[in-house]
Structure 1
Amino acid sequence: MINGQFEQIEALALNLFFASIFFLIGMSIRDVLKQGKVPAFGRFIVWLVLFLGCAGFVAKGVIQLFWEGSGIG
């Protein structure tokens, strides 16, 4: 297998791994919030923080993609 192909497969696998980790974290947080009977404002704050963490990860990937495409990184 060509080195470039190996790097692409590795990057894809790493991104899928992080997506699955975010999903599992979200499911566990949902379960804890449901069992703890957390008020609506508290649930909103928790989901906001989780969303911002995920959005930061996605933004990092998009920025990295643009930088590599333009030859910067």
Structure 2
Amino acid sequence: MARPSPERAPSASEQLEALLGKRWPFPGRPPKHDLSTWRVTDDWPDPVPVTLAEVEVFERWFGDLFDEFFSSPL
């Protein structure tokens, strides 16, 4: 006997439409800035300067992860 397939959960857009009672995205004027025409450039120095305080923050928050990641396998 075939099982009925579970219903697909509504997408975020479908949930928003149901909540607002309007179509999403809203019809109307297009956005002021067309992001498809933007260009990303990297103007950071090489190497990127890092302060001792920034290093300490990363070591405090991610120290266990770094130890596990960079430790040699037993």
Which TM-score band (shorter chain)? under 0.3
* Higher relative contact order, structure no. (Cα contacts within 8 Å, ≥ 6 residues apart): 1
TM-score after normalising by structure 1: 0.19
Q: Which has the higher helix share?
A: 1
Rg comparison, structure with higher value: 2
TM-score after normalising by structure 2: 0.19
